[in-house]
Amino acid sequence: MTKAEKLLWEVLKGRKLNGNKFRRQYGVGKYVIDFYCVKKKLAIEADGEVHDSEKSQKYDLERDEFIGNFGIKILRFRNEEIEKNIEGVLEKILREL
């Protein structure tokens, strides 16, 4: 896990976020979601620089569309945002929950 993923996992695991259970590295078809709340159908992705390339952005769009077909909503956060503003990230996640 990246530093940002470790930081986010610390606040998601063990039902720490309003009692919502998150799983880490959850598979949907051939794709893997960083963090997933099954009950709320909410996926959380932590994106680093690798997601900046045109090829990666196209892949992410196709991936998100596939996962969305299962009624799963995806929230994406940049690693930098998670590391520098974890409280703001958690507020956004709580609004979706």
**Which one has a higher pLDDT value, 84 or 55?**
84
Ordered structural domains, the chain, with CATH: 3-96 (3.40.960.10)
pLDDT digits (tens, 9 = 90+) for 29-49: 999 999 999 999 999 999 876
pLDDT digits (tens, 9 = 90+) for 3-38: 999 999 999 999 999 999 999 999 999 999 999 999
**Which one has a higher pLDDT value, 47 or 93?**
93
Q: CB–CB of 5/32 below 8 Å?
A: no
To the question of pTM greater than 0.95 for the whole model, the response is: no
The pLDDT assigned to 35 comes to 98
Q: What is residue 19's DSSP assignment?
A: T
Measured distance CA(43)–CA(29) in Å, rounded: 14
Q: In sequence order, what are the residues at sequence separation of 6 or more whose Cβ sits closer than 8 angstroms to the Cβ of residue 44?
A: 8, 12, 22, 33, 34, 35, 36, 74, 75, 77, 93
pLDDT digits (tens, 9 = 90+) for 73-89: 999 999 999 999 999 99
The pLDDT assigned to 55 comes to 80
* Rg (the chain; Cα; Å): 13
Residue 50 has pLDDT above 80, yes or no: no
